[in-house]
Amino acid sequence: MKKILRLVLALGLMVLVGLVGLAQTTVTPRSVGVLLFDNETGADVSGLMIIFDKPVTLGASDVLAIGGGEVTDVVVLARGSMICEVRIQVEVVAGGTLQIMLPNDCADAQVIAAFWRL
């Protein structure tokens, strides 16, 4: 009975991890200064979350969806003086690319992590 319970718990955990993985898919940018995020998820996405190693300033005019819609919202959240979180609301089709132009004052910001929102 304990073996069956452990198996059920393990399978439940695997399903939960899989669902979280579907909700956020990691992505790595292709260049510096101009960041190119390719949507290789195989599905349309509704946004992108990026964590930078330093504060950045971004607006909707700095973001372009190549194979997608207009940017509807850009939220920049400073997490202390070392980390910055950016949430971009934009539709990007499967196989499309999101281009972000970093302003000169933060062009050297490094992407720590980035996640597509499905």
DSSP states along the chain? -HHHHHHHHHHHHHHHHHHHHHHEEE---SSSSEEEEE--SSS-EEEEEEEESS-----GGGEEEEEE----EEEEEEETTTEEEEEEEEEEEEEEEEEEE--GGGTTPPEEEEEEE-
Domain chopping of the chain, boundaries = 25-117
What tens digit of pLDDT does each residue of 70-118 get?
999 999 998 777 899 999 999 999 999 999 999 988 888 999 999 999 8
Q: Which fold has domain 25-117?
A: Immunoglobulin-like (2.60.40)
What tens digit of pLDDT does each residue of 36-50 get?
999 999 999 999 999
What tens digit of pLDDT does each residue of 53-74 get?
999 999 999 999 999 999 999 9
